[in-house]
Chains A and B, each alone.
Chain A
Amino acid sequence: MKALVSGATRAVLALEARLALRGIADMAGPKTAMRPWRIAGVLAVVCTIIFGVSQLLLMTAGELDPADPRLQITLTINLAFLFVLMISAALDSAAYALYARGDYDLMFSAPLPPQTVLLVRALNVFGFTLTKAGFYGAPMLILLAVQHGPHWLAGLPLILALALSATAIAIGLAMGLVRLIGIRSTRVAAQVAAALAGLLVLVMVRWDAIFGPGPKDALAADYVANHQSLVWQLAMLPARAVTGDVVALLAVVACAALMAVLMFTGLAESFVRNAVLAAGSASAVPARARRSRASFGASQLGALMLKERRIILRDPWLLSQILMQCIFLIPIAVVTVYRVASGANDASALVPVLIVLCGQIAGGLTWIAMSADEAAELALTAPLDPRLRERARFGAISWLAVTIAAPPLMLLLMFDAWAGLVGLLGVACAIACGIFVNIWHQPRLARTGMIRRRMKSPISVTLLELLALTMVAVGIWPLLAGNYLAAMLGAFLAVATMGVLYAARPRAAA
């Protein structure tokens, strides 16, 4: 506590808060000033989206009786998924905040005890985890409190306690992983874990569609039969807490506080040792590359494309980002197979979703490739037609995006040939749109540091990309029903949207 109130600690905390706010402002675009209205604008857009989605989910929930065992089971499953999501988010944040910030020379040379550095970093991870979990959970709880009674507000301190527990677990995990596999691999592992957790959330939302009511009914029956057992008593604590049981809530909060204290007192020394090691890891012996027969000399276009491919495929961190993008296609494939296998003949309903997802993957890949270009100025000073640079980037990204989109498209073609063909056309258009919107509108001369610092593409570009992809989906949708006139109108809208986005692109140097 003494460490918390020292002037130096307050200075570090103020810095962390400023950097966090700047991170939010950065979501509005690069080099944006940290003006309150800009931060408020970003938050308002995000809140509107999350409250809207939460309300849509709530509308399908029906009557909510806290004493209903099936509701208790549903809440327990959802809270378990949310907790996994929190741990994965905290793990990624911890791996970055503890070992990859690059400011340890400053921190350890300042008159601060190392424990204070860990404390501030832990608060940073906690804040990040709480914000993320809060964005997912708080709107739902507030809507529940408004529509079904104020006892649902007990879920808010519960989220706080879960975030604290997740922080403690993630910091312990990050420290263990860094010792075992090193800082770089830990960050990749954290990214993959985050992607898998994201997948779990999708499974949670689509639980009934994928698994049907059977598993939940069986769990509810077992709970009713054995509700006095210690396992069920412990497992149901969070569900009871979220529905307003004060004793259960206090138990969860006490448990979280105990975990946090144990983490802090037990790991401070190990943190200092690992952080010092991680700070020196940049000067490790560099990897030796095998000489490839692929030639840079064939043409300027070939040289640029080969460079893009090599940089992406040699960077495990970038690969993990791509893997994260791909992982969201798995539920589509699973649901397609599941629905077709269970006799439903509506695989075509997935085509618009597939179109938007593939376009987003292509856009994400383009952003990754542009942000990973550490020497973007080199190509700008080379004797190249600027259109050739764009063509090379398009070529390098599109083959990757097509490779990723191919498996679900093949599945679709197998089950429903017409939907597959229309999907193929839509996905091709979406990939092109996703790539070009990013090429035209992403900030120029971004460097690898940027992608690793900001972790997010500017929200303005994401919204433009979504607009273009929605237009493609709107244009393709009538084709599935054989309405060619409406499809032509949709295609015209999509082309017009892309034309406007092209005309509105920022101009680059000659």
Chain B
Amino acid sequence: MSDHDALVVRGLVKRFGGFTAVNGLDLSVRRGELYALLGPNGAGKTTSLRVVAGLLSPDLGEISICGINRLLDPVAAKRVVAWLPDEPMVYDKLTPVEYLDFVSGLWQVEPKLAKLRRDALLETLELTRVADQRCEGFSKGMRQKVALAGALIHEPELLILDEPLTGLDASMARHVKELLRERVATGVAVILTTHILEVAERLSDRIGIIRNGRLVCEGTMAELRNGGAPQSSSLEDVFLDVVGREEAA
């Protein structure tokens, strides 16, 4: 692992009973890079990310986050990671302000700094108007924004996002994409899953395609096209080609 790597996963295996969800996954994400992990339904994307985030224990393999061994020192690894699942993790009975204060408390962000960051995030994500309302009546998009603010408030070095644009309207989706690119420009590493291939194509620096719990193809868009697809191919063409080839094999 080099100093440039924010995440290195080697030989990751995760089984649920007799079913192997992740089967020897190898991947790395560099600092200041946005990595899109793609794959058909049930390919093992979310399970892989949940293992990296510390929600599941792996059966085999190594995970290093910003040079910290995630299995040997999980608490230190979690300090530099934020996890945002497709179902937003917010509390119905807390307001966005309280939720962000709570997350800051968990990550032990200095209170004055936490307040500054909180107000800035509420402003950026257009949540100021509802900052003191309980989340129970929020739409899924609003809850997603609150959860995203929670993921960013402790300024993680590695952001793990599972379908982050689900439920957001077009303007907010663009806003979030810009926000992610800004964070990446400051050196934050982002790994995300998405089913919207156009988003992955436009947003990501590198793309990995996973099938049956194993990485079958990885690279920049240009590198993926060089893998045999015509230069004019879209990511959708490449994706369907790779997945189709794997199915045939």
A509 close to B78 (CB less than 8 A): no
Chain B stretch 40-64: residues in CB contact (< 8 A) with chain A:
53-57
A379 close to B106 (CB less than 8 A): yes
Q: In the complex, which residues of chain B have a beta carbon less than 8 angstroms from the beta carbon of A485?
A: none
A-contact 0/1 string along B111-151, CB 8 Å cutoff: 10010000000000000001011111111000000000010
B97 close to A374 (CB less than 8 A): no
B-contact 0/1 string along A277-309, CB 8 Å cutoff: 000001111111101000111111011101100
B98 close to A304 (CB less than 8 A): no
A310 within 8 A of B: yes
Cα–Cα distance between A288 and B71 once the two chains are bound (Å):
42
* Most-contacted residue by chain B among A314, A377, A382 (CB, 10 A): A382
Q: Which residue of A lies closest to B114 (CB)?
A: A297
Cα–Cα distance between A501 and B130 once the two chains are bound (Å):
45
Chain B stretch 74-105: residues in CB contact (< 8 A) with chain A:
74-76, 78-79, 81-83, 85, 89-95, 97-98, 101-105
A315 within 8 A of B: yes
B134 close to A510 (CB less than 8 A): no
A311 close to B94 (CB less than 8 A): yes
Cα–Cα distance between A147 and B150 once the two chains are bound (Å):
66
B75 close to A383 (CB less than 8 A): yes
B105 close to A302 (CB less than 8 A): yes
B102 close to A296 (CB less than 8 A): yes
A310 close to B94 (CB less than 8 A): yes
Q: In the complex, which residues of chain A have a beta carbon less than 8 angstroms from the beta carbon of B54?
A: 380-381, 509-510
Q: Number of contacting residues on A, CB 8 A? A: 39
B-contact 0/1 string along A415-452, CB 8 Å cutoff: 00000000000000000000000000000000010000
A300 contact from B89, B108, B111, B136, Cβ within 8 A? B108
A295 close to B91 (CB less than 8 A): no
B106 contact from A295, A384, A448, Cβ within 8 A? A384
A384 close to B103 (CB less than 8 A): no
A382 close to B78 (CB less than 8 A): yes
B134 close to A381 (CB less than 8 A): no
B76 contact from A283, A299, A383, Cβ within 8 A? A383
A377 close to B105 (CB less than 8 A): no
B-contact 0/1 string along A31-58, CB 8 Å cutoff: 0000000000000000000000000000
Count of A-B contacts judged by CB separation below 8 Å: 117
Q: In the complex, which residues of chain B have a beta carbon less than 8 angstroms from the beta carbon of A448?
A: 92
B107 within 8 A of A: yes
A510 close to B74 (CB less than 8 A): yes
Cα–Cα distance between A284 and B94 once the two chains are bound (Å):
16
Q: How far is the CB of A106 from chain B (nearest CB, A)?
A: 19
Q: Which residue of B lies closest to A510 (CB)?
A: B74
A374 close to B101 (CB less than 8 A): no
A246 within 8 A of B: no
A385 within 8 A of B: yes
Q: In the complex, which residues of chain A have a beta carbon less than 8 angstroms from the beta carbon of B55?
A: 377, 380-381, 509
Given contacts A374-B92, A377-B83, A381-B78, contact A287 B106 (CB under 8 A): no
A381 close to B90 (CB less than 8 A): no
A296 close to B101 (CB less than 8 A): yes
Q: How far is the CB of B20 from chain A (nearest CB, A)?
A: 18
Q: Which residue of B lies closest to A282 (CB)?
A: B137
A286 contact from B57, B76, B134, Cβ within 8 A? B134
B79 contact from A282, A307, A380, A383, Cβ within 8 A? A383
B107 contact from A302, A314, A382, A510, Cβ within 8 A? A382
Given contacts A311-B93, A375-B90, A385-B75, contact A509 B106 (CB under 8 A): no
A384 contact from B75, B90, B93, B132, Cβ within 8 A? B75
A225 within 8 A of B: no
Jot down 5 A-B pairs with beta carbons below 8 A, ordered by A: A289-B94, A289-B133, A296-B102, A378-B150, A381-B83
Q: Which 6 A-B pairs have the closest CB atoms?
A: A303-B105, A286-B137, A375-B89, A296-B105, A383-B79, A382-B106
- Knowing that A381-B78, A385-B75 are A-B contacts, what are 13 other residue pairs whose CB atoms are under 8 Å apart, sorted by A's residue number? A283-B139, A295-B105, A299-B105, A311-B91, A311-B94, A314-B93, A378-B103, A381-B55, A383-B106, A448-B92, A507-B57, A509-B56, A510-B71
